[in-house]
Chains A and B, each alone.
Chain A
Amino acid sequence: MKSLKLYFKYIRINMLSGLQYKGWWLMILQTLIVVVTDPIGIILLFYRFGSVGEWSVEKILLIYAIAVTSFGLAETFSRGFDYFPWRMIRSGDFDRILLRPCSVFVQVAGSFFHIHRISRVFGGFCAIIWCMLKLDAVFSPLNVLVLIMALIGGYFAYTGVFVMTSGIAFFTIEGLDWIYIFTNASYQVTRCPIDYMPKILRNLFTFFMPMLVISYYPASAICGWGEGYAKGLLALPAGLAFLGFSLYIWRFGVRHYQSTGS
């Protein structure tokens, strides 16, 4: 409980930092534009050629939007881990974190907060609602529950990716661009209809990084595309499991920390 309180204190101080600079609202606008223009490519493509098999633009967009929203949530609330390898290990600022009598995890998670990240969540969420309306999905309590579970699970999964990156960074210090496959690139993958996805990618994003479990299966359950609610509700445990696995790597990294500089 104390950790949670501290976490929000950290977020608060970082938010205040952000507001110290003029132009923070420009940053919000900028991210919003990115989020809105991002899926324009597929939308145009579909308008030109109609749908791919039984995949309409709304279907694709719904899966994509769920992924983007959870990514946005993770970015908003755990962004510290994403910056961590580059900013903290290399500069030796991690020392300072170890010098404080509270959870390292909380401190790193709360070490960066950018208010403009919220725009991704906002944009994504609007897209989800729009798609669900277009697809005539029922807003029954169960569906809403599945959706919320999916977003929370997605949040955990993406936080897991950030945490894992940070854990590995203890050994490599830098050069972790390939991890982008699991962060910024991973929700791009959801734009490809699952039936047409190469088997290997499908397995990778189901069983290793549960990308599809937190986006496709819940969407399918909500709209009734053939996957059951059981699979749709797997999002939360899958996200938690991935986060747990990442935390294990992270802990291993912390133990091997070698400080830099003097």
Chain B
Amino acid sequence: MQIELKEICKNYKVSQRPEGRFGMLKGAFVRNTKTIKALDNITFNIRQGELVGYIGPNGAGKSTTVKIMSGILTPDSGSCTIMNRIPYKERKSHVSEIGVVFGQRSQLWWDVPVNDSFDLLKDIYDIPTIRYKKRFDELIEALSISDLLKTPVRQLSLGQRMRCEIASALLHSPKILFLDEPTIGLDAVSKLALRDFLKNENHKNGVTMILTTHDMDDIESLCSRVMVIGHGNLLYDGNLDMLKQQYAPLCNIKASLDKKTEKFHIEGTEDIKVVGNTWNVLYDPSKIPTHSIVEILTKKLPLKDIVIEQQDIDEIIAQMYKEMSL
């Protein structure tokens, strides 16, 4: 296993202002601290070359986990071993083999051209010139950023900057890449391009990627494995289809009709809702095949159009969070 986390716990102390009229004044002298469990017994393993989506609502502990894995934070208890090293103990050798992209924070130097930042990173990571040159050309081409290299970072658009960020995180050919909301704020074209690039990088170089995001399309198009975290607990670990089946087993057939028709029961379906001239038939595809419902509907109803919908992944996740009362 490349990444092994075992019973990781991490608590934060948060200070709170005392209640009442003089709370603010009191707060300057007395602090009420509250302990918040950011992570509570997190255990998982990740193999080399896996592409894992790590999701959960805001404040669930995603970033904390990533920070522990990247050696920024020390866990209160539990063990974390990555490539046979303990990240927070062997910081330097650990970070030279990982790459981290924070969607909200820049790795690059704000005021100087991208090229200068890359140059400095070459020295920081101590990359041999020949290897650097090769890797550099590779990334420039794959991310099509050759035109941006002479522009100061502050003058780049978000999408352009993100591409440069990704390049800068991969210059030293890390074996593991942590991506914290890499597609936040990007337009559709940039998002698609970025996903393609990540997929390719994973495929070609076998880079293990751990991706935290709120964009379910990222997960759907990239990740074979999903981990869901909430209130510091790992709630789900498995592939995306299983997750869907577990939380949204039902499909929906939306049939628009020429005229209003009285509702009747169809054997094997879960529920039928009629809104005006539209029927919504909810069913479980593992119990009754889609085509047999469609057959019944075409026979018995004056059909105008028929659409088969799967529940939206965002809705599934929202529902799942709700069910787990997150």
Contacts and interface: CB of A to CB of B under 8 A. Distances in A.
A101 B92 contact: yes
Contact of A13 (B74, B104, B109, B126): B109
B124 A258 contact: no
Interface in A110-145: none
A93 B102 CA distance: 11
A9 B120 contact: yes
Interface in A10-41: 10, 13, 16-17, 20-21
A32 to B, nearest CB: 24
A102 B125 CA distance: 8
Contacts of B124: 6, 100-102
A10 B120 contact: yes
Contacts of A20: 111-112, 152
Contact of A2 (B111, B117, B126, B180): B126
Contacts of A95: 67, 72, 102, 105
Nearest to B100: A99
Contacts of B120: 9-10, 13
Most A CB contacts (10 A, CB to CB) among B67, B72, B102 go to: B72
Contacts of B58: 262
B112 A102 contact: no
Contact of B116 (A5, A6, A16, A101): A16
Interface residues of A, number: 25
Interface in B39-55: none
Nearest to B66: A262
A197 interface: no
6 contacts: A13-B120, A92-B105, A98-B91, A99-B98, A99-B100, A100-B125
Given A20-B111, A98-B91, 16 more contacts: A9-B120, A9-B123, A13-B112, A16-B116, A17-B112, A95-B67, A96-B102, A99-B70, A99-B100, A101-B91, A101-B93, A101-B95, A101-B124, A101-B125, A259-B73, A261-B104
Interface of A: 2, 5-6, 9-10, 13, 16-17, 20-21, 92-93, 95-96, 98-102, 255, 257-259, 261-262
